[in-house]
Amino acid sequence: MFSRKPLTLPPQLVWRYKDELALAEWSLRARAYNTDIANAIAAFFLIVQVPCLYWLLPSMATNLKDQLLIGGFLYMVVMSGAFSMTHQTTKFAYRLTASGLEFCEWKEFPEWLPRLLKWAAGITCVFMLMLATIHPAALIGAIAGPGMMGLMYLKMGTSSQFRRMHERFHQGFHPWTDFTKMIVFRRRAIIGLDFTYFNPMADEGKGRMIDTDRLLYCRRAQLDDLIAIIREHLPESTPYEEAYIPIYA
């Protein structure tokens, strides 16, 4: 599903224990959220469009050829938007040493996206104006579709806040003694390591200990090797379980 080539790491990333021998290190793109829900949403768009277009197209064109042309175009536009929402990825890098686990997750602003919207707005406008010669109802699409894309392009190009929303960099380290439990979710090749930390802002500023986990995304081919390495360095009393891991991000 994801490229096997190592990702280009962010220039600001410096591993804390870079002088230690790496027991394992890898990087990849992963969908860091509940993919079951995301896939269901994509499937909904995939299926529901068919009866909607079947009902809508006769009012936009009279012959079958024009209906298929318009329907195919609208179908591709809607599905492109749906997949851009349901199949976003985050970049991850991990490094295991004798001292513990180092990780980094980051997102970079897709520089190609504003250019894509700019060209898509122009192409869509020309296409819909051509369709308007077949049926006047297409004028609505010629105005709404390219108009919305143009506004999105201007928003991306001028808003620093928009760029910050799509950029992220987070780096951290855990010694092996931090982890209190290990859970493996084989279907998605995810290793969950439970740990506890103190949150001073919890309970209206009173602070309390929070139970959470650190998720390690990997490829299925390397999953068993990583399990063996991690279990070897965790305390012997650390519980191990293979189960579903809910992801709420």
Give the residue-averaged pLDDT of 190-206.
86
Q: Is 137 exposed, middle or buried (0-12, 13-18, 19+ CB in 10 A)?
A: middle
Q: State whether 73 and 153 are in the same domain.
A: yes
pLDDT at 243 over 70: yes
pLDDT in tens, 55-107: 777 776 677 777 777 777 777 777 777 777 788 889 999 999 999 999 999 98
Q: State whether 185 and 231 are in the same domain.
A: yes
Phi, psi of 194 (to 5 degrees): -75, 145
Give the model's confidence band at 138: pLDDT under 50 very low, under 70 low, under 90 confident, else very high: low
Q: Which of 116, 131, 165 finishes a domain?
A: 165
pLDDT at 177 over 50: yes
Per-residue HEC secondary structure of 217-242 comes to ECCHHHHHHHHHHHHHHCCCCCCEEE
What range defines the domain where residue 37 resides?
Answer: 31-97+107-165
Q: How many CB atoms lie within 10 A of CB 50?
A: 11
For helices 35-56 and 64-86, angle between their N-to-C axes, nearest 10 degrees: 160
pLDDT at 224 over 50: yes
Q: State whether 55 and 36 are in the same domain.
A: yes
pLDDT score for 200? 81
pLDDT at 1 over 50: no
pLDDT in tens, 20-56: 999 999 999 999 988 888 889 888 888 888 887 777 7
Q: How many domains does the chain have?
A: 2
What does DSSP assign to residue 136?
T
Q: State whether 60 and 91 are in the same domain.
A: yes
What does DSSP assign to residue 5?
S
Predicted TM-score (pTM) of the model is: 0.74
